A and B are shown apart, each in its own frame.
Chain A
Amino acid sequence: MPYIPHTEEELNEMLEAVGASSLDDLFADIPASLSPRSFDLPKGKPEHEVLRTLRGLAAKNATQLVNFVGGGFYDHFIPAAVDPIVSRSEFYTAYTPYQPETSQGTLQAIYEYQTAICRLVEMDVSNASLYDGGTALYEASMMAVRATGRKKIIVDQGVSPIYRVMLESYTSNLGLQFEQIPISGGVTDRKKIKDALGSDIAAVIVQNPNFFGCVDDFSDISKMAKEAGAMVICSVYPLSLGLIKPPGTMGADIVTGEGQSLGLPLSFGGPYLGFMAARSENARRMPGRIVGATEDTQGRRGFVLTLQTREQHIRREKATSNICSNEALCALSALVYMCLLGKGGLQQVARVCAEKAAYTRKRLSQIPGVNIKYPAPTFNEFAVELPRDAGTVIGDLIEKGFAAGFPLGRYYEGMERSMLVAVTEKRTKEEIGRLAEALEEVLS
């Protein structure tokens, strides 16, 4: 049997040692009445056949399309060195570092990851990571509810609709209330936020760049929120921070986001990386693992899981969260990515994305009938208004080899003619040109 090393001889020796006459004896404590009614599974297959089956299934996925779909998840360049490093099995076959002496590799890597996240978003403290950007936003909301003792949260509709529905799902049994504020001209409506703020608001949730790709500065919202005693939670696209203003300098109290853009493959929706950072005063309110530096008995620097008294294995039902792991390997990928790109490289990638997006935006806007939906500045994604239903246009462009964009009508009522186009550093001038030609053709 694959992966099970026992020979017949060893099985017999071991059974004898435990005083059992057969393997069935070892299951005598399970009443016969509980025998499976069925266990009808296929016969096992040799490795070679399994891989052949999977290659066949992989071929049924259209990864050959030239990709301009984003929506918070992007087709970025991943340096070749990331995979060999995270594929070192000392990292990936380890578990949560409960025994720090045997886990300094994982622990130091997480400490370095926490440091990188803090520097990227300009906050004081980061946790060891969460499942994804959406669950990170939910955990941040719960943090704000606990910190303020209030149960109402303002959510800007520029926040990913994928995340907004997750927030509603998670809290449906908790008596929380989310007030959704429509955007204005593609960006956050200041006046409506101001009107909604009051002594019952726990937090204001915003996103930068927002779902429409528009870039903003939320400093004024932070000021308003602070006056009302509410926290500001900002969800960010980490790669954009190579170029745009970090949320820490806008007065955000909690920063979250999806780390997929930092060296993780798209992988049909996961595994991804939720990150979360906060101000020092809120460190103890954070969910999830946190790694801290300390010393060993000989005064050498070492790292441990710390502030564990917040966590479920100690606090059980009184824990800050039920989370008992992080996405350690994904956090490692993000760290390795950020190290390889480095200070200048991240800036360069963000700049190239923005330049290619600006070029695409201009090129598409020259097509008769195509208009840029919002005048606000954008990073690497922007919405265009088409002369007909965006869904059908995108369908036509699939035929021509493009995943041309995302139909905004899928999430926003009344936007049936709008398409969200994302451009990463991987797209070339030639591909952009071909997309423009194809779009012009299907519209004419």
Chain B
Amino acid sequence: MKLIYEKSSPGRKGVRPPESDVFAKIEIPSALMRKKPAELPEVSELDVVRHFTELSRRNFGVDTNFYPLGSCTMKYNPKMCEQAAKMEGFAALHPLLPQLRLGGMLTQGALQILHDCAALLCEITGMAEFTMQPMAGAHGELTGIMLIAAYHNSRGSKKTKVIVPDSAHGTNPASAAIAGYSVVTVKSNSRGVMDLEEFEKTLDDETAAVMLTSPNTLGLFNADLQRIVELARSKDALMYYDGANLNAILGRCRPGDMGFDVVHLNLHKTFATPHGGGGPGAGPVGVSEKLIPFLPISRVVKRSDGTFALDYDHPQSIGYIAPFYGNFGVILKAYAYILALGREGLVRVSETAVLNANYLMSKLKIAYELPYDRICKHEFVLSASKQMKNGVRALDIAKALIDRGFHPPTVYFPLIVKESIMIEPTETESKETLDAFAEAMLEVARVADENPEALRAAPSKTPVSRLDEVKAVKKADFAYIPNA
């Protein structure tokens, strides 16, 4: 398919922008002016609409295909939430208005949403307070680790390391490192959770925090959790809860009750805001009482008269981690989702998400190796080890699923399972969809036995076949240059 730049014709225009209705001379000297206009495409509105409509048809999304991408919680994104975010009173609201004198009164609706959404998240997680500012999950992690650093620094304690299990998302160690800590990785045991003995050996007075995901990336709940929290406490290390997998435990347990000090949530996972092809998301962070003084500013507070205001008077705060109040448009969608589902709905979310995962697992373990065979939570991890005997890799299975109309599961993550296939169906998928997917997976396993070559050519029904990633690195072609 052509690039939009290859469809350009000199003189063509896509839109007639506002015109000048004033007579005024621009007083910018020519030395400060651009000499040649930027080479943006010259196309009509219809050219643009057709081009991007055609591009959109070269994508799989939740709305077009089952998308069981493990660890990403690709649930359905309700249209109501999209409609809410487009309301003029939200979309056109300038973020600096509350900074004007008495300006808080100009944005009461928006401030109330930030305040009330944070309060709902506190109740859902059992945390004492939330900041809505982090703009993604990884951003929430970084914020969380900065809070932990500020806490230890305030007590004059110079701790240097953060413990992360080997099953953690790659963002965990990266976030800890970027906040200035050295990272120590602890291996998982044969039950698929962090090895308690090795953890005890690694944990010491230098440990600032322990980052855990529970259920972890294998979809397994860690029964040693209470013990881990106690041990960490004994060394004055704080507990960090990666909320990426919160969908599995809504209404069943809360990080706050379990003794965690920091938790980040991914609103684009558990709270159904769209992933957008890789953003924007939102990664609000909740904390226990003792970390409240360090939360970012500004903070939204409710005054005794019921109005809302921004509060900056927190001398121990880590400061500003976002230009304003976070990804407000995303937070708003999550808020609408929580209001629609309510208590019963959210409980039903985790129940059916876990049921769907266990149902698929029970169907697939016949044909695929299941390294950790126990009740899973919202997701489970298979291995293509049986199929590897015929030279069929997890990647081949993923590509074969594409031809059968399914977005592939996550493959090659977590790293602790060889040829891993990580499946997260989510609660919004019906039994029929799960059955159809299971059938496709089982059929692929049969083909892997009988005619493995056939899988290596997949996918064949997509606009492009397998792409040469080595060539991409070698070519280093990151922007279009005509006739290059």
Asked whether any CB of chain B lies closer than 8 Å to the CB of A207, the reply is no
8 A Cβ contacts from B265-289 to A: 272, 274-281
Asked whether any CB of chain A lies closer than 8 Å to the CB of B315, the reply is no
Asked whether any CB of chain A lies closer than 8 Å to the CB of B69, the reply is yes
Asked whether any CB of chain A lies closer than 8 Å to the CB of B197, the reply is no
What per-residue 1/0 map shows which CB atoms of B130-151 lie under 8 Å from chain A? 0000011111011000100100
Q: Would you list the 5 A-B pairs with minimal beta carbon distance, nearest first?
A: A58-B89, A269-B324, A44-B342, A169-B319, A329-B276
B26: chain A residues at CB < 8 Å are: 243, 351, 354-355, 358
Given contacts A93-B62, A244-B33, A307-B473, contact A4 B257 (CB under 8 A): no
In contact, A91 and B280 (Cβ under 8 angstroms): no
Other than the known A73-B94, A343-B42, what 12 A-B pairs have Cβ atoms closer than 8 Å? A3-B341, A29-B223, A41-B124, A62-B106, A89-B274, A90-B57, A91-B61, A306-B469, A317-B177, A321-B178, A341-B14, A392-B101
Asked whether any CB of chain B lies closer than 8 Å to the CB of A60, the reply is yes
Among A44, A134, A351, the residue within 8 A (CB) of B340 is A44
8 A Cβ contacts from A95-147 to B: 95-106, 108-109, 111-112, 114-116, 118-120, 122, 124-126, 128-129, 131-135, 142
Complex-state Cα separation, A319 to B55, whole angstroms: 31
Given contacts A166-B323, A246-B38, A297-B465, contact A352 B17 (CB under 8 A): yes
B275: chain A residues at CB < 8 Å are: 92-96
Complex-state Cα separation, A440 to B260, whole angstroms: 57
Residue of A nearest to B250 (CB): A39
Asked whether any CB of chain A lies closer than 8 Å to the CB of B447, the reply is no
Q: How large is the interface on B (under 10, 10 to 19, 20 to 34, 35 or more residues)?
A: 35 or more
Q: How far is the CB of B330 from chain A (nearest CB, A)?
A: 6
Asked whether any CB of chain B lies closer than 8 Å to the CB of A442, the reply is no
Asked whether any CB of chain B lies closer than 8 Å to the CB of A415, the reply is no
What per-residue 1/0 map shows which CB atoms of A1-34 lie under 8 Å from chain B? 1111110001101110111100101111111011
Complex-state Cα separation, A196 to B328, whole angstroms: 39
In contact, A58 and B88 (Cβ under 8 angstroms): yes
In contact, A316 and B183 (Cβ under 8 angstroms): yes
Given contacts A116-B40, A322-B175, contact A63 B101 (CB under 8 A): no
B467: chain A residues at CB < 8 Å are: 100-101, 294-296, 302-304
Asked whether any CB of chain B lies closer than 8 Å to the CB of A87, the reply is yes
Q: 5 pairs across A/B with beta carbons < 8 Å? A: A30-B252, A61-B93, A291-B478, A345-B17, A403-B94
Q: How large is the interface on A (under 10, 10 to 19, 20 to 34, 35 or more residues)?
A: 35 or more
B366: chain A residues at CB < 8 Å are: none
Complex-state Cα separation, A129 to B359, whole angstroms: 38
Complex-state Cα separation, A311 to B413, whole angstroms: 14
Q: How far is the CB of A265 from chain B (nearest CB, A)?
A: 4
Among B141, B177, B478, the residue within 8 A (CB) of A126 is B478
What per-residue 1/0 map shows which CB atoms of A158-176 lie under 8 Å from chain B? 0000110110111011110
Given contacts A105-B56, A173-B180, A358-B25, contact A295 B95 (CB under 8 A): no
In contact, B327 and A271 (Cβ under 8 angstroms): yes
